[in-house]
Amino acid sequence: MFSGAQISLYPMSDDFVDVILKAIEALEPYRPFFRIETDDVSTLIVGPPDQLFPAMRDLFVSAARSGKHCVLSATVSRGCPGEPDDPICTPMTASGNDLPLVERIAEARNAVTRAETSGQIVAAQFSLYPLGEGHHMDEIYGCVDFLKSSGVFNRSKNFCTKLRGDAGPVFATLSEAFLRFGAPQGHVALDLTVSANSRTAA
Amino acid sequence: MFSGAQISLYPMSDDFVDVILKAIEALEPYRPFFRIETDDVSTLIVGPPDQLFPAMRDLFVSAARSGKHCVLSATVSRGCPGEPDDPICTPMTASGNDLPLVERIAEARNAVTRAETSGQIVAAQFSLYPLGEGHHMDEIYGCVDFLKSSGVFNRSKNFCTKLRGDAGPVFATLSEAFLRFGAPQGHVALDLTVSANSRTAA
């Protein structure tokens, strides 16, 4: 299954270029598994679906450690029918999302519990878009059940859901929502914003 | 129909707060028509679907005139079934998207031709998500036909389409894509990134 993300990093700082270049070093361990292409608006990463959120977590935590107000914005996708299947993208069967919904919710919660903490508090908001046929509202409601019991649920907002907590469990929660819900081979897109070091964080 | 956007503005500058506060003044003419709510991650605007992109254009052009590298990121939505219908959101019938596809493509092109220029060059990339039933691939292909002849088409990227040009026709093109394609009363979401004053613009 073709999976990847268009990601952008925004440090609200005069030295944003230095913050970005230093943060990108955190992607080094992922380079053997990803195709990476950059232009003036975003960086494309294409690779195994279960590695997308760990890579974004490490990139963002590295930038946030500058102490500057930083935001990561990403368009994440799996199973897009208009994209060629890429040999570096592994199948989704490893995520076990052919299991009954109640078991997937339990497994998603367990995965978040096992996530290592990073010491970096973040706010995240995202929208999950199950596209095409083969998706059911049961999947969405199951995902919402999982989010509310994830330990990092903040609140529901118009058009999106907001999380807050340590970057470790927050990115683990995002990854579980992306991987375990929606049709296993279906097209799922996720629109993500993560913020750290905001002066106005509530 | 309920319509609105979660929008964020990112000036890559130490004085990002001043740039944002000054840019927000550009929203004043829209305040009578919009409900506006802000938290630490984004600002919600809820209002008539045909005013969303003009409001974002004026906000962004105002920020970009600071000369700083600025990005606007937004999650735009119409017809979301999980949202209450809001009396300040007007029906979609005014957009004429019950017309045959070929006529809508022609009208969308004409609307972009009429767009006033702003003097501000921007790059924009976006993904359009027609959700639920009642959407057809014909609508997507029709939208792509329109984009390629909009005069601001830059290139197709993985997961998104990139535009480049004056903010006037670029935001007009985005608005036409959002309003005229997909089921008239269907749920359509649009994930948007607009960038100005990048040092690495190609």
Establish if A16 belongs to a structural domain. yes
Determine contact, residues B88/B48, Cβ cutoff 8 Å.
Answer: yes
Is A43 a known ligand-binding residue? Answer: yes
Weakest mean pLDDT among A31-35, A85-89, A163-167, A195-199? A85-89
The count of structural domains within chain A is 1
Establish if A68 belongs to a structural domain. yes
pLDDT at B171: 98
Is A9 a known ligand-binding residue? Answer: yes
As a whole number of angstroms, the distance between CA B188 and CA A167 comes to 30
Determine contact, residues A19/A13, Cβ cutoff 8 Å.
Answer: yes
Rounded to an integer, what is the distance from CA B27 to the centroid of its chain?
Answer: 15
Q: State yes or no: pLDDT of B59 exceeds 70.
A: yes
Establish if B201 belongs to a structural domain. no
Average pLDDT over residues B191-196: 98
**Nearest alpha-carbon partner for B142 in B182, B112, B187, B82:** B182
Work out the minimum CA distance from B115 to partner chain A, whole angstroms: 24
Rounded to 5 degrees, what are φ and ψ at B127? -125, 140
pLDDT at B183: 78
Establish if A201 belongs to a structural domain. no
As a whole number of angstroms, the distance between CA B153 and CA B182 comes to 20
Return residues 97-126 of B near A (CB < 8 Å).
123, 125
Work out the minimum CA distance from B107 to partner chain A, whole angstroms: 26
Question: What pLDDT digit, counting tens, does each position of A45-61 carry?
Answer: 999 999 999 999 999 99
Establish if B93 belongs to a structural domain. yes
Determine contact, residues A142/A97, Cβ cutoff 8 Å.
Answer: no
As a whole number of angstroms, the distance between CA A164 and CA B199 comes to 33
Establish if B37 belongs to a structural domain. yes
Q: What is the side-by-side strand order in the sheet with A70-78? A: A35-38, A43-46, A3-11, A70-78, A187-196, A121-131, A160-166, A153-157
Q: What is the side-by-side strand order in the sheet with B187-196? A: B35-38, B43-46, B3-11, B70-78, B187-196, B121-131, B160-166, B153-157
pLDDT at A182: 82
Check B158 against A17: CB less than 8 A apart: no
Determine contact, residues A45/A36, Cβ cutoff 8 Å.
Answer: yes
Mean pLDDT of chain A: 90
Higher pLDDT, A18 or A140: A18
Angle at A56 between CA A51 and CA A61, to 5 degrees: 130
As a whole number of angstroms, the distance between CA B162 and CA B125 comes to 4
Higher pLDDT, B89 or B25: B25
The answer to whether A14 contacts chain B (CB < 8 Å) is yes
Q: Which domain holds residue A145?
A: 3-196
Establish if B202 belongs to a structural domain. no
Please state, in angstroms and as integers, the Cα–Cα distance from residue A94 to each residue in A18, A91, A99, A179, B4, following that order.
37, 7, 11, 10, 37
Q: Round to the nearest angstrom and report the end-to-end CA distance of chain B.
A: 39
pLDDT at A122: 98
Higher pLDDT, B14 or A92: B14
Q: State yes or no: pLDDT of B83 exceeds 80.
A: no
Higher pLDDT, B54 or B94: B54
Instruction: Give helix then strand counts, H and E, for chain B.
Output: 5, 8
As a whole number of angstroms, the distance between CA B87 and CA A159 comes to 18
Check B125 against A200: CB less than 8 A apart: no
Work out the minimum CA distance from B110 to partner chain A, whole angstroms: 28
**What ipTM was predicted for this assembly?**
0.91
Determine contact, residues B72/B59, Cβ cutoff 8 Å.
Answer: yes
Establish if A202 belongs to a structural domain. no
Percent of chain B predicted with pLDDT > 70 = 89
Q: State yes or no: pLDDT of B136 exceeds 90.
A: no
DSSP class of residue A152 equals -
As a whole number of angstroms, the distance between CA B9 and CA A193 comes to 12
Q: State yes or no: pLDDT of A137 exceeds 90.
A: no
Q: What is the CATH number of the domain that holds A160?
A: 3.30.70.930
Average pLDDT over residues A125-144: 81
Q: State yes or no: pLDDT of B175 exceeds 70.
A: yes
